[in-house]
Structure 1
Amino acid sequence: MNAVIIEDETAAVGSLKAILSQNTMMPVEVVAELESIEESVTYFHNYPQPDIIFMDIHLADGSAFKIFEQVEIAAPVIFTTAYDEYALQAFQVSSIDYLLKPITLISLERALGKLRLFSPEERLAHIRRTNDTIQGRHVIKSLLIMLTDKFYPLQVEDILYFYTMNEKVTAYTSDGKLHPVDRTLDALGDQLDEKHFFRANRQFIISRKAIKDIDLWFGSRLSVNLTLPIPERIIISKTKTPVFKKWILMEE
Protein backbone atom coordinates (compact mmCIF):
# COMPACT_ATOMS: atom_id res chain seq x y z
CA MET A 1 0.00 0.00 0.00
CA ASN A 2 1.37 3.39 -1.03
CA ALA A 3 1.01 6.29 1.41
CA VAL A 4 1.53 10.05 1.39
CA ILE A 5 2.32 11.86 4.63
CA ILE A 6 1.29 15.53 4.91
CA GLU A 7 3.01 16.90 8.01
CA ASP A 8 5.14 19.98 8.72
CA GLU A 9 7.04 18.64 11.74
CA THR A 10 10.10 16.57 10.84
CA ALA A 11 10.05 14.66 14.12
CA ALA A 12 6.39 13.72 13.63
CA VAL A 13 7.12 12.42 10.11
CA GLY A 14 9.99 10.31 11.39
CA SER A 15 7.89 8.91 14.22
CA LEU A 16 4.99 8.01 11.91
CA LYS A 17 7.30 6.32 9.39
CA ALA A 18 8.93 4.30 12.16
CA ILE A 19 5.56 3.08 13.44
CA LEU A 20 4.38 2.31 9.90
CA SER A 21 7.42 0.08 9.44
CA GLN A 22 6.55 -1.80 12.64
CA ASN A 23 2.89 -2.42 11.87
CA THR A 24 1.79 -5.99 11.10
CA MET A 25 -1.58 -5.06 9.62
CA MET A 26 -0.30 -4.38 6.08
CA PRO A 27 2.92 -3.26 4.37
CA VAL A 28 2.96 0.50 3.79
CA GLU A 29 5.42 2.34 1.57
CA VAL A 30 5.67 6.11 1.98
CA VAL A 31 5.97 7.55 -1.53
CA ALA A 32 5.92 11.25 -0.59
CA GLU A 33 6.37 13.53 2.42
CA LEU A 34 4.69 16.92 2.02
CA GLU A 35 5.05 19.88 4.40
CA SER A 36 2.52 22.46 3.26
CA ILE A 37 -0.77 23.16 1.52
CA GLU A 38 1.04 24.56 -1.51
CA GLU A 39 3.35 21.57 -1.81
CA SER A 40 0.45 19.13 -1.39
CA VAL A 41 -1.70 20.78 -4.06
CA THR A 42 1.21 20.76 -6.51
CA TYR A 43 1.92 17.10 -5.77
CA PHE A 44 -1.67 15.93 -6.30
CA HIS A 45 -1.88 17.86 -9.55
CA ASN A 46 1.15 16.02 -10.91
CA TYR A 47 1.27 12.55 -9.36
CA PRO A 48 -1.12 9.61 -8.98
CA GLN A 49 -3.22 9.43 -5.83
CA PRO A 50 -1.86 7.04 -3.17
CA ASP A 51 -3.78 4.28 -1.44
CA ILE A 52 -3.89 6.24 1.83
CA ILE A 53 -3.06 9.77 3.05
CA PHE A 54 -1.92 10.61 6.58
CA MET A 55 -2.75 14.30 6.99
CA ASP A 56 -1.90 16.62 9.87
CA ILE A 57 -4.76 19.09 10.24
CA HIS A 58 -2.61 22.14 11.02
CA LEU A 59 0.23 22.99 8.64
CA ALA A 60 2.63 25.93 8.62
CA ASP A 61 0.72 27.71 5.84
CA GLY A 62 -2.76 27.10 7.22
CA SER A 63 -5.46 24.48 7.71
CA ALA A 64 -4.94 21.27 5.74
CA PHE A 65 -8.61 21.40 4.79
CA LYS A 66 -7.62 24.04 2.24
CA ILE A 67 -6.05 21.25 0.19
CA PHE A 68 -9.52 19.84 -0.49
CA GLU A 69 -10.63 23.23 -1.81
CA GLN A 70 -7.90 23.31 -4.45
CA VAL A 71 -7.55 19.72 -5.63
CA GLU A 72 -9.71 16.61 -5.70
CA ILE A 73 -8.56 14.07 -3.13
CA ALA A 74 -9.38 10.58 -4.36
CA ALA A 75 -7.78 8.56 -1.55
CA PRO A 76 -8.91 7.68 1.98
CA VAL A 77 -7.58 10.12 4.58
CA ILE A 78 -6.52 9.45 8.16
CA PHE A 79 -6.15 12.75 10.00
CA THR A 80 -3.49 13.26 12.66
CA THR A 81 -3.78 15.79 15.46
CA ALA A 82 -2.25 16.71 18.80
CA TYR A 83 -5.72 17.42 20.20
CA ASP A 84 -8.61 15.23 21.19
CA GLU A 85 -11.87 14.42 19.44
CA TYR A 86 -13.47 17.67 20.59
CA ALA A 87 -11.28 19.59 18.16
CA LEU A 88 -12.52 17.42 15.29
CA GLN A 89 -16.24 17.35 16.00
CA ALA A 90 -17.07 19.79 13.21
CA PHE A 91 -15.27 17.65 10.63
CA GLN A 92 -15.66 14.07 11.75
CA VAL A 93 -18.02 11.58 10.12
CA SER A 94 -18.24 7.92 11.01
CA SER A 95 -15.91 6.78 8.24
CA ILE A 96 -13.08 9.24 8.99
CA ASP A 97 -10.43 7.93 11.36
CA TYR A 98 -7.86 10.04 13.13
CA LEU A 99 -4.69 9.47 15.15
CA LEU A 100 -3.87 11.40 18.29
CA LYS A 101 -0.25 12.48 18.68
CA PRO A 102 1.96 10.95 19.89
CA ILE A 103 0.81 8.18 17.56
CA THR A 104 1.08 4.65 18.91
CA LEU A 105 1.39 1.35 17.08
CA ILE A 106 -1.94 0.22 18.51
CA SER A 107 -3.85 3.26 17.24
CA LEU A 108 -2.17 3.05 13.84
CA GLU A 109 -3.02 -0.63 13.40
CA ARG A 110 -6.60 0.07 14.47
CA ALA A 111 -6.92 2.69 11.73
CA LEU A 112 -5.29 0.48 9.10
CA GLY A 113 -7.48 -2.43 10.15
CA LYS A 114 -10.57 -0.30 9.69
CA LEU A 115 -9.37 0.69 6.24
CA ARG A 116 -8.61 -2.91 5.28
CA LEU A 117 -12.20 -3.91 6.02
CA PHE A 118 -13.54 -1.36 3.55
CA SER A 119 -14.87 -2.73 0.29
CA PRO A 120 -14.07 -0.70 -2.86
CA GLU A 121 -17.55 0.80 -2.65
CA GLU A 122 -17.08 1.75 1.02
CA ARG A 123 -13.72 3.36 0.25
CA LEU A 124 -15.35 5.49 -2.44
CA ALA A 125 -18.13 6.46 -0.02
CA HIS A 126 -15.50 7.36 2.59
CA ILE A 127 -13.70 9.65 0.14
CA ARG A 128 -16.95 11.36 -0.87
CA ARG A 129 -18.03 11.88 2.75
CA THR A 130 -14.62 13.29 3.66
CA ASN A 131 -14.78 15.83 0.85
CA ASP A 132 -18.44 16.70 1.51
CA THR A 133 -17.81 17.16 5.24
CA ILE A 134 -14.88 19.49 4.72
CA GLN A 135 -16.57 21.45 1.95
CA GLY A 136 -19.52 21.92 4.29
CA ARG A 137 -17.53 23.79 6.93
CA HIS A 138 -18.83 27.19 7.93
CA VAL A 139 -17.13 30.26 9.34
CA ILE A 140 -18.28 31.27 12.82
CA LYS A 141 -19.56 34.81 13.40
CA SER A 142 -19.91 34.67 17.18
CA LEU A 143 -18.84 32.69 20.23
CA LEU A 144 -20.85 31.75 23.29
CA ILE A 145 -18.81 32.81 26.32
CA MET A 146 -19.48 31.09 29.65
CA LEU A 147 -18.98 32.72 33.03
CA THR A 148 -19.71 31.19 36.41
CA ASP A 149 -23.45 31.78 36.34
CA LYS A 150 -24.30 33.01 32.84
CA PHE A 151 -23.62 32.89 29.12
CA TYR A 152 -23.27 35.74 26.67
CA PRO A 153 -22.59 36.01 22.91
CA LEU A 154 -19.35 37.59 21.69
CA GLN A 155 -19.09 38.83 18.11
CA VAL A 156 -15.95 37.54 16.40
CA GLU A 157 -15.50 40.86 14.56
CA ASP A 158 -14.88 42.55 17.94
CA ILE A 159 -11.98 40.23 18.82
CA LEU A 160 -8.45 41.54 18.24
CA TYR A 161 -6.58 38.40 19.23
CA PHE A 162 -6.79 35.03 20.96
CA TYR A 163 -4.09 33.97 23.41
CA THR A 164 -3.50 30.64 25.12
CA MET A 165 -1.53 29.88 28.26
CA ASN A 166 -1.70 26.84 30.54
CA GLU A 167 -4.27 25.28 28.17
CA LYS A 168 -6.67 28.21 28.68
CA VAL A 169 -7.72 30.40 25.74
CA THR A 170 -8.68 34.05 26.16
CA ALA A 171 -10.18 36.44 23.61
CA TYR A 172 -9.13 40.09 23.83
CA THR A 173 -11.63 42.59 22.42
CA SER A 174 -11.38 46.17 21.21
CA ASP A 175 -12.96 47.50 24.43
CA GLY A 176 -10.06 46.12 26.47
CA LYS A 177 -12.02 43.25 28.00
CA LEU A 178 -10.88 39.63 28.35
CA HIS A 179 -13.21 36.72 27.58
CA PRO A 180 -12.58 33.03 28.44
CA VAL A 181 -13.06 30.82 25.38
CA ASP A 182 -13.95 27.15 25.70
CA ARG A 183 -12.14 26.09 22.51
CA THR A 184 -8.56 25.34 21.58
CA LEU A 185 -6.61 27.59 19.22
CA ASP A 186 -6.54 24.71 16.75
CA ALA A 187 -10.33 24.45 16.77
CA LEU A 188 -10.64 28.22 16.39
CA GLY A 189 -8.13 28.22 13.55
CA ASP A 190 -10.44 25.95 11.57
CA GLN A 191 -13.57 27.99 12.32
CA LEU A 192 -12.45 31.61 11.93
CA ASP A 193 -12.41 33.50 8.64
CA GLU A 194 -8.83 33.16 7.41
CA LYS A 195 -9.08 36.49 5.60
CA HIS A 196 -9.35 38.25 8.95
CA PHE A 197 -7.46 36.00 11.40
CA PHE A 198 -3.98 34.47 11.27
CA ARG A 199 -2.48 31.73 13.46
CA ALA A 200 0.79 33.45 14.35
CA ASN A 201 2.21 30.68 16.52
CA ARG A 202 1.19 28.23 19.23
CA GLN A 203 0.11 31.05 21.55
CA PHE A 204 -1.64 33.58 19.30
CA ILE A 205 -4.34 33.98 16.67
CA ILE A 206 -4.35 37.63 15.61
CA SER A 207 -6.86 39.82 13.79
CA ARG A 208 -5.72 41.74 10.76
CA LYS A 209 -7.22 44.97 12.11
CA ALA A 210 -5.23 44.67 15.36
CA ILE A 211 -1.83 44.82 13.64
CA LYS A 212 0.05 48.07 14.21
CA ASP A 213 3.39 47.27 12.55
CA ILE A 214 5.91 44.47 12.05
CA ASP A 215 9.58 44.30 13.04
CA LEU A 216 12.27 42.19 11.41
CA TRP A 217 13.51 39.68 13.98
CA PHE A 218 16.45 37.38 14.48
CA GLY A 219 16.76 34.25 12.34
CA SER A 220 14.63 35.51 9.44
CA ARG A 221 11.62 35.79 11.72
CA LEU A 222 9.12 38.60 12.29
CA SER A 223 7.83 40.30 15.43
CA VAL A 224 4.24 41.56 15.17
CA ASN A 225 3.14 44.58 17.20
CA LEU A 226 -0.55 45.10 17.92
CA THR A 227 -2.54 48.22 18.71
CA LEU A 228 -3.06 47.06 22.31
CA PRO A 229 -0.88 45.46 25.01
CA ILE A 230 -0.06 41.76 24.64
CA PRO A 231 1.07 39.18 27.24
CA GLU A 232 4.26 38.32 25.32
CA ARG A 233 5.98 39.15 22.06
CA ILE A 234 4.31 37.68 18.94
CA ILE A 235 7.00 35.96 16.88
CA ILE A 236 6.33 34.60 13.39
CA SER A 237 8.67 31.70 12.63
CA LYS A 238 10.98 31.58 9.63
CA THR A 239 8.75 28.93 8.05
CA LYS A 240 5.57 30.96 8.54
CA THR A 241 7.05 34.33 7.55
CA PRO A 242 6.37 34.02 3.78
CA VAL A 243 2.85 32.77 4.51
CA PHE A 244 2.22 35.72 6.83
CA LYS A 245 3.50 38.19 4.24
CA LYS A 246 1.06 36.80 1.67
CA TRP A 247 -1.77 36.97 4.19
CA ILE A 248 -1.07 40.55 5.26
CA LEU A 249 -1.20 41.66 1.61
CA MET A 250 -4.42 39.76 0.92
CA GLU A 251 -7.44 41.90 0.13
CA GLU A 252 -10.23 41.62 2.67
Structure 2
Amino acid sequence: MKVARILFFLVGSIFIVASLPISSGIMLELYTIKNISDKYTITSINGGDDFTDSTIYSFRGNIIEIEEELKESVIYKDLFDNYIGIADVTLKINGKEIETLKDHPIRTGYYSGLSRYFGEVAFLLLGDKKNNDTQFVVLLKKTKEFLKAKPNGDLEGWVPIEELDYTMITLDSEGNIGNTSFNLTERDALQTHLLNEGNVVPHTIGYHNQYMSGYLSLLFPIAFPFGTLLIGIILLLVGFLIKRKKKLVS
Protein backbone atom coordinates (compact mmCIF):
# COMPACT_ATOMS: atom_id res chain seq x y z
CA MET A 1 0.00 0.00 0.00
CA LYS A 2 2.85 2.37 0.87
CA VAL A 3 4.58 1.73 -2.48
CA ALA A 4 1.32 2.34 -4.36
CA ARG A 5 0.76 5.63 -2.49
CA ILE A 6 4.27 6.84 -3.27
CA LEU A 7 3.84 5.82 -6.91
CA PHE A 8 0.56 7.75 -7.20
CA PHE A 9 2.15 10.84 -5.64
CA LEU A 10 5.26 10.61 -7.81
CA VAL A 11 3.52 10.08 -11.15
CA GLY A 12 0.80 12.63 -10.31
CA SER A 13 3.41 15.23 -9.38
CA ILE A 14 5.35 14.60 -12.60
CA PHE A 15 2.19 15.05 -14.69
CA ILE A 16 1.26 18.26 -12.89
CA VAL A 17 4.75 19.78 -13.06
CA ALA A 18 4.98 18.98 -16.78
CA SER A 19 1.50 20.31 -17.59
CA LEU A 20 0.94 23.30 -15.30
CA PRO A 21 3.27 25.90 -16.95
CA ILE A 22 1.84 25.32 -20.44
CA SER A 23 -1.79 25.02 -19.30
CA SER A 24 -1.52 28.25 -17.29
CA GLY A 25 0.07 29.95 -20.32
CA ILE A 26 -2.84 28.81 -22.51
CA MET A 27 -5.37 30.05 -19.94
CA LEU A 28 -3.63 33.43 -19.90
CA GLU A 29 -3.87 33.58 -23.71
CA LEU A 30 -7.57 32.66 -23.64
CA TYR A 31 -8.26 35.29 -20.97
CA THR A 32 -6.52 37.98 -23.03
CA ILE A 33 -8.35 36.95 -26.22
CA LYS A 34 -11.69 37.27 -24.43
CA ASN A 35 -10.67 40.56 -22.82
CA ILE A 36 -9.71 42.09 -26.18
CA SER A 37 -12.86 40.83 -27.91
CA ASP A 38 -15.01 42.22 -25.07
CA LYS A 39 -13.42 45.66 -25.40
CA TYR A 40 -12.81 46.14 -29.12
CA THR A 41 -13.98 45.38 -32.63
CA ILE A 42 -11.24 45.40 -35.25
CA THR A 43 -11.86 45.50 -38.99
CA SER A 44 -9.01 45.19 -41.47
CA ILE A 45 -9.56 47.21 -44.62
CA ASN A 46 -6.80 45.46 -46.53
CA GLY A 47 -6.54 42.19 -44.61
CA GLY A 48 -6.79 38.63 -45.86
CA ASP A 49 -7.43 38.09 -49.56
CA ASP A 50 -9.95 40.91 -49.98
CA PHE A 51 -7.60 43.68 -51.05
CA THR A 52 -8.84 47.12 -52.02
CA ASP A 53 -7.67 48.64 -55.31
CA SER A 54 -7.47 52.10 -53.79
CA THR A 55 -4.80 53.75 -51.63
CA ILE A 56 -7.17 56.47 -50.41
CA TYR A 57 -9.67 56.10 -47.58
CA SER A 58 -12.14 58.59 -46.17
CA PHE A 59 -12.82 58.49 -42.43
CA ARG A 60 -15.33 60.96 -41.01
CA GLY A 61 -14.30 63.75 -43.32
CA ASN A 62 -10.55 62.98 -43.12
CA ILE A 63 -8.60 61.66 -46.08
CA ILE A 64 -5.97 58.98 -45.44
CA GLU A 65 -3.81 58.05 -48.38
CA ILE A 66 -0.63 56.24 -49.35
CA GLU A 67 1.62 57.99 -51.83
CA GLU A 68 4.22 55.89 -53.63
CA GLU A 69 7.43 56.92 -55.36
CA LEU A 70 8.66 53.83 -57.19
CA LYS A 71 12.47 53.54 -57.31
CA GLU A 72 12.87 50.06 -58.86
CA SER A 73 9.98 48.07 -60.27
CA VAL A 74 11.55 44.62 -59.84
CA ILE A 75 14.58 43.49 -57.84
CA TYR A 76 13.62 39.87 -57.16
CA LYS A 77 10.79 37.37 -56.65
CA ASP A 78 9.72 36.49 -53.14
CA LEU A 79 8.79 33.06 -51.76
CA PHE A 80 5.35 33.24 -53.40
CA ASP A 81 6.66 34.34 -56.82
CA ASN A 82 5.53 37.93 -56.27
CA TYR A 83 7.66 40.59 -57.93
CA ILE A 84 9.25 42.82 -55.30
CA GLY A 85 10.28 46.38 -56.05
CA ILE A 86 11.63 49.32 -54.08
CA ALA A 87 9.70 52.50 -53.31
CA ASP A 88 9.30 55.40 -50.92
CA VAL A 89 5.91 54.87 -49.29
CA THR A 90 4.41 57.95 -47.64
CA LEU A 91 1.37 58.12 -45.39
CA LYS A 92 -0.60 61.36 -45.67
CA ILE A 93 -3.60 62.51 -43.68
CA ASN A 94 -5.53 65.42 -45.12
CA GLY A 95 -2.60 66.13 -47.40
CA LYS A 96 -0.07 66.31 -44.54
CA GLU A 97 2.88 63.92 -44.60
CA ILE A 98 2.86 61.79 -41.45
CA GLU A 99 5.43 59.02 -42.03
CA THR A 100 7.59 57.79 -44.92
CA LEU A 101 9.05 54.33 -45.40
CA LYS A 102 12.23 54.99 -47.37
CA ASP A 103 13.45 52.48 -49.99
CA HIS A 104 10.94 49.94 -48.79
CA PRO A 105 10.07 46.59 -50.43
CA ILE A 106 6.64 46.51 -52.08
CA ARG A 107 4.77 44.06 -54.28
CA THR A 108 4.71 45.17 -57.90
CA GLY A 109 3.60 43.32 -61.04
CA TYR A 110 -0.18 43.04 -61.26
CA TYR A 111 -0.80 44.30 -57.71
CA SER A 112 -2.54 47.63 -57.20
CA GLY A 113 -3.86 49.74 -54.34
CA LEU A 114 -3.11 48.69 -50.78
CA SER A 115 -2.32 45.16 -51.91
CA ARG A 116 1.06 46.47 -53.11
CA TYR A 117 2.00 47.09 -49.46
CA PHE A 118 0.74 43.83 -47.98
CA GLY A 119 2.88 42.94 -44.97
CA GLU A 120 4.26 46.49 -44.77
CA VAL A 121 1.22 48.77 -44.35
CA ALA A 122 -2.23 48.05 -42.89
CA PHE A 123 -5.41 50.12 -42.65
CA LEU A 124 -7.78 49.11 -39.84
CA LEU A 125 -10.85 50.36 -38.00
CA LEU A 126 -10.68 50.06 -34.20
CA GLY A 127 -14.00 50.20 -32.38
CA ASP A 128 -14.14 50.84 -28.64
CA LYS A 129 -17.23 49.04 -27.32
CA LYS A 130 -17.27 50.88 -23.99
CA ASN A 131 -17.08 54.38 -25.44
CA ASN A 132 -18.99 53.47 -28.62
CA ASP A 133 -16.30 55.21 -30.66
CA THR A 134 -14.15 54.25 -33.65
CA GLN A 135 -10.58 55.13 -34.56
CA PHE A 136 -8.79 54.71 -37.85
CA VAL A 137 -5.47 52.90 -37.42
CA VAL A 138 -2.52 52.70 -39.80
CA LEU A 139 0.26 50.21 -39.05
CA LEU A 140 3.64 50.74 -40.69
CA LYS A 141 6.35 48.12 -40.58
CA LYS A 142 9.51 50.19 -40.25
CA THR A 143 11.98 47.32 -40.59
CA LYS A 144 12.85 46.21 -44.11
CA GLU A 145 12.81 42.52 -44.95
CA PHE A 146 13.92 41.19 -48.33
CA LEU A 147 12.96 37.57 -47.81
CA LYS A 148 13.80 35.14 -50.59
CA ALA A 149 14.91 31.54 -51.04
CA LYS A 150 18.38 30.48 -52.08
CA PRO A 151 18.80 27.75 -54.73
CA ASN A 152 19.36 25.21 -51.94
CA GLY A 153 16.07 26.16 -50.28
CA ASP A 154 17.52 28.15 -47.38
CA LEU A 155 15.95 31.53 -46.62
CA GLU A 156 17.85 34.79 -46.61
CA GLY A 157 16.89 38.35 -45.86
CA TRP A 158 14.81 37.59 -42.79
CA VAL A 159 15.07 39.79 -39.70
CA PRO A 160 15.01 38.46 -36.11
CA ILE A 161 11.81 39.14 -34.18
CA GLU A 162 13.58 41.44 -31.73
CA GLU A 163 14.62 43.75 -34.57
CA LEU A 164 11.14 44.31 -36.01
CA ASP A 165 9.98 47.89 -35.39
CA TYR A 166 6.55 49.37 -36.07
CA THR A 167 4.72 52.68 -36.02
CA MET A 168 1.03 52.91 -35.20
CA ILE A 169 -0.84 56.00 -36.40
CA THR A 170 -4.31 56.61 -34.95
CA LEU A 171 -6.96 59.05 -36.13
CA ASP A 172 -9.95 59.59 -33.86
CA SER A 173 -13.43 60.84 -34.68
CA GLU A 174 -12.41 64.43 -33.94
CA GLY A 175 -9.44 64.36 -36.30
CA ASN A 176 -6.73 64.05 -33.64
CA ILE A 177 -3.66 62.12 -34.78
CA GLY A 178 -1.64 59.84 -32.50
CA ASN A 179 1.77 58.38 -33.28
CA THR A 180 3.29 55.45 -31.37
CA SER A 181 6.45 53.51 -32.20
CA PHE A 182 7.20 50.12 -30.69
CA ASN A 183 9.33 47.02 -31.09
CA LEU A 184 7.63 43.68 -31.64
CA THR A 185 9.04 42.35 -28.37
CA GLU A 186 7.54 45.31 -26.44
CA ARG A 187 4.01 45.21 -27.86
CA ASP A 188 0.89 45.26 -25.71
CA ALA A 189 -2.21 43.09 -26.15
CA LEU A 190 -4.08 45.53 -28.40
CA GLN A 191 -1.04 46.08 -30.60
CA THR A 192 -0.65 42.31 -30.88
CA HIS A 193 -4.23 41.94 -32.11
CA LEU A 194 -3.84 44.80 -34.58
CA LEU A 195 -0.59 43.37 -35.97
CA ASN A 196 -2.24 39.99 -36.57
CA GLU A 197 -5.35 41.50 -38.14
CA GLY A 198 -3.22 43.76 -40.34
CA ASN A 199 -0.97 40.91 -41.53
CA VAL A 200 2.19 42.90 -40.90
CA VAL A 201 3.97 40.19 -38.92
CA PRO A 202 5.88 37.19 -40.34
CA HIS A 203 3.42 34.79 -38.69
CA THR A 204 0.58 34.85 -36.21
CA ILE A 205 1.86 36.00 -32.84
CA GLY A 206 0.43 35.31 -29.39
CA TYR A 207 -0.28 37.87 -26.70
CA HIS A 208 2.04 36.31 -24.12
CA ASN A 209 3.25 33.07 -25.75
CA GLN A 210 2.82 31.01 -28.93
CA TYR A 211 0.80 28.13 -27.49
CA MET A 212 -2.42 29.13 -29.28
CA SER A 213 -0.79 30.33 -32.50
CA GLY A 214 -0.07 26.94 -34.03
CA TYR A 215 -2.25 24.07 -35.22
CA LEU A 216 -4.60 22.95 -32.45
CA SER A 217 -5.80 19.34 -32.22
CA LEU A 218 -7.02 16.73 -29.76
CA LEU A 219 -3.39 15.98 -28.92
CA PHE A 220 -2.61 19.61 -28.11
CA PRO A 221 -3.98 21.18 -26.01
CA ILE A 222 -6.70 18.64 -25.05
CA ALA A 223 -4.61 15.54 -24.31
CA PHE A 224 -1.62 17.64 -23.30
CA PRO A 225 -1.47 19.71 -21.18
CA PHE A 226 -5.07 19.72 -19.88
CA GLY A 227 -5.57 15.95 -20.03
CA THR A 228 -2.28 15.18 -18.31
CA LEU A 229 -2.96 17.92 -15.74
CA LEU A 230 -6.30 16.34 -14.87
CA ILE A 231 -4.75 12.88 -14.63
CA GLY A 232 -2.03 14.27 -12.36
CA ILE A 233 -4.60 15.81 -10.03
CA ILE A 234 -6.60 12.56 -9.94
CA LEU A 235 -3.47 10.53 -9.13
CA LEU A 236 -2.62 12.88 -6.26
CA LEU A 237 -6.16 12.63 -4.91
CA VAL A 238 -5.99 8.83 -5.08
CA GLY A 239 -2.68 8.96 -3.18
CA PHE A 240 -4.27 11.11 -0.47
CA LEU A 241 -7.27 8.78 -0.25
CA ILE A 242 -5.00 5.77 0.17
CA LYS A 243 -3.13 7.56 2.95
CA ARG A 244 -6.38 8.61 4.62
CA LYS A 245 -7.79 5.07 4.37
CA LYS A 246 -4.63 3.65 5.95
CA LYS A 247 -4.97 6.05 8.90
CA LEU A 248 -8.64 5.13 9.41
CA VAL A 249 -7.83 1.42 9.34
CA SER A 250 -5.01 1.81 11.83
Please classify the TM superposition score into its range, dividing by the shorter chain length: under 0.3
Relative to the length of structure 2, the TM-score reads: 0.21
Relative to the length of structure 1, the TM-score reads: 0.21
Query: Which structure ranks higher in relative contact order (CA pairs < 8 Å, sequence separation ≥ 6)?
Result: 2
- Bigger Rg, structure 1 or 2: 2
